[in-house]
Amino acid sequence: MAKKSFFEMKIDTASSYGSDLLASDFNELTAAAKKLAIHVGMVGGFATNFLQWLAAISAIYLLVLDRTNWKTNILTGLLIPYIFFTLPSFLFSFLRGEVGKWAALVAVVLRLFFPDRFQEWLEMPAASILLIVVAPNLIASTLRNNFVGVAICLVIAGYLLQEHIRASGGFRNSFTKANGISNSVGIVLLFVYPAWALITNIL
C-alpha cells in the first residue's frame, strides 16, 4: 500500500506540474498576443495608409501595363473595382467631387460624339472615374471602408494571380521570364494591403 500511495503521489505531482507549466505557457502566449496587438495598433494607422497607397499604385501600374505592352486575356477589368476600393480616402473624395464629375462628363461626351478621338487606352480610366462618381453612398462610404471591400480586393488579387500564373505557363515561369517579373510583383503587391487590413481588423 505504501508503494501505491507513493506512486500516486508522484503521478499527482507530475500532473499538477504539467498543468502549471501549460497554464504558464498559455499566460505567456496571451501576453505576447496582447503586445503584438498593441504594436500593430501603434504602427497600424501609418502602415495601413502606406499599404493602401502601394496597392492603388500597383493596380494603376498593372492597368497602364495592360493598356500598353502586357496584352493578355486575363480579365484586367477587375482592376477597376480594386482601384475603387483601395484608392486613398482624400483622393477618392477629390475624384468623387466636381473634378470627377467634369472628367466623367468629358469622357462620356468624347465617347458618344467623337468616338474616333476616344482612344482605346482611355476606356479603363474613364470607367474608373465613372464608377467613382456614380457609385451609391452605400458602396462608396460603407462597403469601401469595411471588411467587405477588403475581402473583395483579396478575391480579385487571388484571381488575377492564378490567371497570370496560368497564362505564364506555371509559377516558375511567371517569376523568371523577363517580361513577367514586373507583372508578377505588381500582382503580388495587390495582396499586401487587403491581407494587412484583414489582420489589423481581426486583432
pLDDT above 60 (res 165): yes
- Within a domain: residue 29? no
Mean pLDDT confidence for 180-186 = 74
- Within a domain: residue 21? no
Closest CA to 155 of 59, 82, 70: 82
Looking at this protein, which amino acid is placed at residue 171? F
- Within a domain: residue 14? no
Find the domain containing 92 and state its range: 44-202
- Within a domain: residue 55? yes
Mean pLDDT confidence for 172-197 = 76
Closest CA to 128 of 89, 170, 92, 172: 92
- Within a domain: residue 5? no
pTM for the complete prediction? 0.71
pLDDT above 60 (res 103): yes
- Within a domain: residue 84? yes
pLDDT above 60 (res 6): no
How many domains does the chain contain in total? 1
- Within a domain: residue 183? yes
pLDDT of 41 reads 54
Mean pLDDT confidence for 172-195 = 75
- Within a domain: residue 34? no
DSSP the chain: -HHHHHHHHHHHHHHHHHHHHHHHHHHHHHHHHHHHHHHHHHHHHHHHHHHHHHHHHHHHHHHHHHHHT---SS-GGGHHHHHHHHS-HHHHHHHHSHHHHHHHHHHHHHHHH-TTTS-GGGHHHHHHHHHHHH--HIIIIIITTSHHHHHHHHHHHHHHHHHHHHHHTSHHHHHHSHHHHHHHHHHHHHHHHHHHHHHHHH-
Gyration radius (Cα) of the chain, Å = 26
Higher pLDDT, 12 or 48: 48
Contact of 122 with 107, CB cutoff 8 Å: yes
Contact of 101 with 133, CB cutoff 8 Å: yes
| Cα–Cα separations (whole angstroms), residue 49 to 81, 113, 188, 194, 202 | 18, 40, 18, 12, 17
- For 35-50, what is each residue's pLDDT tens digit? 655 555 555 566 778 8
Higher pLDDT, 139 or 20: 139
Closest CA to 76 of 183, 188, 160: 160
Nine cell digits for residue 144: 469601401
